[in-house]
Chain A
Amino acid sequence: MLALSVAAVLAVFLVYVSLAGGGTPAIQPSELDGRTETVSLGGVVVSKRGDPHSAVGMRFVLRDTKGAERVTVLYRGTTPDQFKVGRELMVKGALRNGVFVAQRDSMVTKCPSKYEPAEKST
């Protein structure tokens, strides 16, 4: 009885995981390396220009958190309060012709120790 129920629950879980796959890869610019599937791209903002709410969108450069490898990101939609040059963030999207095209509103900023302020000097 108990075993049957546990098996049923497990079956639901396995079916879901096999159909939906094991989630979205979370990588950094250095690991992009020409891959074109949808990924979560994380890194530090180096520079930005343009308006994310305009038709052409905003472009910003994202760099590895511990490295020099970088990629240009095209982004449209809402930016979180914490977004600015020097911040660590993640966007979801895919590489298209050398530019990482992010999904609308997919930006999440990461605050290393969650709600503690980020170190000022680096």
Chain B
Amino acid sequence: MAELGRAALVVCLGLAVYALAAGGWAVVTRRRRLAASAQNALVASFATALVASLVLLVSFVRRDFSLVYVARLSSEELPTGYTLAAFWSGQEGSLLLWLLVLTGYAAAVVGLARRRRSELLPWVVPPLALVVTFFAFVLVAVSSPFATQVAPANGAGMNPSLQNPYMLAHPVFLYLGYVGLAVPWAFAIGALLARRSDEAWIISTRRWTLFAWTMLGVGQLLGAKWAYEEIGWGGYFAWDPVENAALMPWLAATAFLHSVMIQEKRGMLKVWNVLLVILAFGLSLFGTFLTRSGILTSIHSFTESPIGAWFLGFIALVAVVSLGILFARLPLLRSRTKLESLVSREATFLYNNLLLVALCLTILWGVIWPILSEAVRGEASMVGGPYYNFFLRTFGLPLLLLMGLAPLVAWRRASLRSLGASFAWPAAIALATAVVLLALGFGSSTAGLLAYTFSAFVLGSIAYEFVRGTRTRHGLDGGGWWPAFSSLVGRNRRRYGGYVVHAAIVLLALGVAGSAYDTTRSARLDPGEQLEIAGYTLTYVGVTQNTVANARELRAQVDVERDGASLGTYEPGKNFYPVEDQVSNEPAIRSEARTLGDLFLILDAANADGSIQLKAVVNPLVNLIWLAGLVFLGGALIAMWPDPAEERRLLERYALAPA
């Protein structure tokens, strides 16, 4: 079996090298058949990656401990459902997942672009093949999932915190996002290589980018939900470098999705867009490097693992090649128009981009600061939550405000009078919200109060846009309000899908800002003793133990009451995993449908005398974050849904536009 996996990876590497060399030669010498052959090789590399992945999966299901990787990450006792999560719970399997997703994207790009007879396709193949080559090479020569050994009696088991259903979905979504950013990058590089200065690459990749960006966003929320339920400290995001690694490319891609609209509409920001797409893909590679090289522990452990050096080298290669090609093509990328006014739709997009990139780069600085300071001063220095939260407030709050302002500002040049008319309603709603919140005592957190006020403003302006649009359609088409509304959205999917995504970001901001009003209590309780928190009365009853297939489960029974009414018994606990020799926190969570907040119970310690250390956290509005994920997905789907009429419009416009 292992031989088959190894062979599949070697063939994959061969196909990728061929696609790179033949594809490159084909565009230089303009040979169509050779270009088609390179494309076929790229599609075939997907088949080989699929074979290698299936081999690894089957080895996990059969608990074939003669594979070092399988023995290290699973055990006989591990429930079979989690073997899929075990697949990508280590370095080698994660890289194989990267390769699988990447070749999958490459095959899909080839298939779809051929159907559309895209002239760019031959130019896109070499950059894609370059990335496939790198990952296939690493898997063959540096970090093979198919290394074998004399099979031990049992494996070392899986980290208990990964034994969670979210771990079946979170990595897949995340990688669909990370890796998907390779597609717009490859198109941008391909277009530059082909000396194309038009927007064809942006139009061809809009849905790819949107898809990757959506998956990355959903993947991060799934990761946050996993951390919330599994790690069990009462939070969902901790500015951990691993979390930042996924957030940075998402922010860069968000900036890119916005600024391409300026290029489509006004022919501006051409260089900036290429830079953003390079940044987004570079950060996605950097994120993989961060999480997989061991550099996070220390610069010293980094030098011990050979994979880090290869990654760093490849990131440098991608950066140098991308920027080199961009530099060589700079004369082609002149703007067709100029910014006319600082108060215009274009300008708000520009501000949005600056803030997003600033946030992204300050996070990057925080992530690499320990590494840089250790390299420069010989002593690592770290920045923590306060650093990141400061910049989240400084750049995030203006971003939130802009989200409400931008849709109301006209293109090119906005007059103050028209601004006043459209701002009246949203501004009034925001002011009223601020007054009410102040009266309710939400002034305890200035950032929280601002976030809520701005959120009200954004929701007001989005509602205003929907109402204004529906009215106009109603006036044009007649008929009912509902048909007018659905026709409005159907005809402008990108715009109104975008507004729905904005609404999701507002929900996210509301949920995150809710953490400014958290309450935490911790106490040592004997059976029968009580703990009061935010209107809840918690009574500790006792502890029970239960043994399941691969763990011993300890649970504390806690009766929860509010206003004299019993809300049932909750069971925070800990699981002990004998094979892995690890403990896992199992918090109990009560979600309130009425207030959208959670009561979060953590069993900190169970003492020998029957007492427990109980920690209770009340998280207001936290469920808005998960709701935001669903709205986000819905909005993104609206914006992504194919719209042939719009595609034709765009293509016609660029066919006519001066080069």
Contacts and interface: CB of A to CB of B under 8 A. Distances in A.
B369 to A, nearest CB: 6
Nearest to B586: A81
Contacts of B296: 114
Given A5-B350, A116-B90, A25 B159 contact: no
A40 B581 CA distance: 27
A120 B613 contact: no
A2 B357 CA distance: 13
B582 interface: yes
B307 to A, nearest CB: 11
B604 A16 contact: no
Given A1-B342, A116-B159, A117-B157, A53 B583 contact: no
Interface in B587-614: 602, 604-605, 607, 613
Contact of B294 (A13, A51, A88, A112): A112
Interface string A26-44: 1100010000000010000
Interface in B551-610: 574, 580-585, 602, 604-605, 607
Interface string A58-82: 0000000000000000000011011
A48 interface: no
B358 A78 contact: no
Contacts of B391: 13, 16
B227 to A, nearest CB: 12
Contact of A78 (B72, B351, B582, B604): B604
Interface string A95-122: 0000000000000001111111100100
Contacts of B301: 112
B161 A115 contact: yes
A27 B72 CA distance: 31
A30 to B, nearest CB: 12
A1 B343 CA distance: 12
Nearest to B297: A112
Contacts of B362: 13
B73 interface: yes
B381 interface: yes
Interface stretch (B15-23, B274-282, B382-390, B640-648): B382-390
Given A1-B339, A40-B382, A117-B159, A78 B387 contact: no
Contacts, number: 110
B233 interface: yes
A52 B381 CA distance: 27
Interface string A1-13: 1100110010011
B89 interface: yes
B302 to A, nearest CB: 11
A9 B362 CA distance: 10
Contact of B381 (A12, A16, A24, A120): A24
Most B CB contacts (10 A, CB to CB) among A16, A24, A79, A114 go to: A114
Contacts of B395: 9
Contact of A115 (B72, B162, B233, B602): B162
Nearest to A6: B354
B291 interface: yes
B495 interface: no
Contacts of A24: 381-384
Given A78-B604, A116-B72, A20 B386 contact: yes
Given A16-B391, A53-B613, A113-B91, A81 B584 contact: yes
Nearest to A22: B381
Contacts of B383: 22-24
Interface residues of A, number: 34
> B-side binding surface: helix, strand, loop or mixed?
mixed
A109 B500 CA distance: 40
A78 B233 contact: yes
B332 interface: no
A114 B291 contact: yes
Nearest to B300: A66
A82 B162 CA distance: 13
Contacts of B390: 16, 20
B380 interface: yes
B329 interface: no
A23 B89 contact: no
Interface in B359-378: 362, 365, 369-370, 373
B169 interface: no
Contacts of A27: 379-380
B524 interface: yes
A88 B358 CA distance: 34
Interface in B327-358: 339, 342, 350-351, 354-355, 358
B242 interface: yes
B615 interface: yes
A25 B158 CA distance: 33
A101 B380 CA distance: 20
B359 to A, nearest CB: 9
A112 B305 CA distance: 11
A20 B385 CA distance: 12
Contact of A20 (B156, B162, B373, B387): B387
B519 interface: no
Contacts of B90: 113, 116
7 residue pairs, one from A and one from B, having the closest CB atoms:
A23-B383, A26-B380, A9-B358, A23-B381, A53-B613, A81-B583, A26-B382
19 contacts: A6-B354, A9-B354, A9-B355, A9-B395, A13-B358, A22-B381, A23-B370, A24-B384, A26-B379, A26-B382, A53-B604, A78-B604, A81-B583, A82-B582, A112-B297, A112-B301, A113-B90, A117-B157, A117-B580
Given A1-B339, A78-B522, A81-B582, 16 more contacts: A1-B342, A5-B350, A9-B395, A13-B358, A22-B383, A24-B381, A24-B383, A27-B380, A78-B233, A81-B574, A81-B585, A82-B582, A88-B297, A115-B159, A115-B162, A117-B158
